[in-house]
Amino acid sequence: MSQVQERISQDVSNNKVVIYMKGTPEMPRCGFSAATVQVLQSLDVPFKAVDVLADPEVWQGVKEFSDWPTIPQVFIGGQFIGGCDIVREMHARGELAPLLQKEKTTQA
């Protein structure tokens, strides 16, 4: 595994919720990233945000890691969940909160 793949693997394993996004939660640089961060924030869970615009290696690396062509990307409990559309739709169906709750419990 390359160094960047190793780093991504560690990040998603060591943090319950990780989002790879364009910009930061405070200043998103793309509407899709902004919308996805909003969902995570509304769920009131701590999450790690990685700005891919600040690190082109991670930008390319995470696409290969998850075999997913676009940013943002959300990982929960080390599992790739999906991009903006999937996260928003799962949230609308009420499927995201239980998933996060499970991770919270596991953490405790």
Partner 1 sequence: MGADTTARSLEAALTHAFAPVHLEIEDDSARHAGHAGAAGGGRHFNITLVSAAFDGHSLLEQHRMVNAVLKDLLGGEIHALGLHTVPATEWEKGGSEE
- Element at 39 (helix H, strand E): helix 31-42
How many angstroms separate the CA atoms of 90 and 94, rounded?
6
Among 2, 13, 14, 31, binds partner 1 (CB under 8 A): 31
DSSP string, 48-86: EEEEGGG-HHHHHHHHHHHT--SS-EEEETTEEEESHHH
Identity of the residue, 6 or 85, whose beta carbon is nearer to partner 1 in the bound complex: 85
Identity of the residue, 15 or 33, whose beta carbon is nearer to partner 1 in the bound complex: 33
Kindly state the tokens that stand for 65. Answer: 């890691």
Residue 78 binds partner 1 (CB under 8 A)? no
Among 40, 76, 90, 96, binds partner 1 (CB under 8 A): 90
Residue 32 binds partner 1 (CB under 8 A)? yes
Residue 100 binds partner 1 (CB under 8 A)? no
According to DSSP, the β-strands at 17-21 and 48-51 are: parallel
Residues lying near partner 1 in the complex (CB under 8 A) are found at 22-23, 29-33, 53, 67-71, 80-86, 89-90
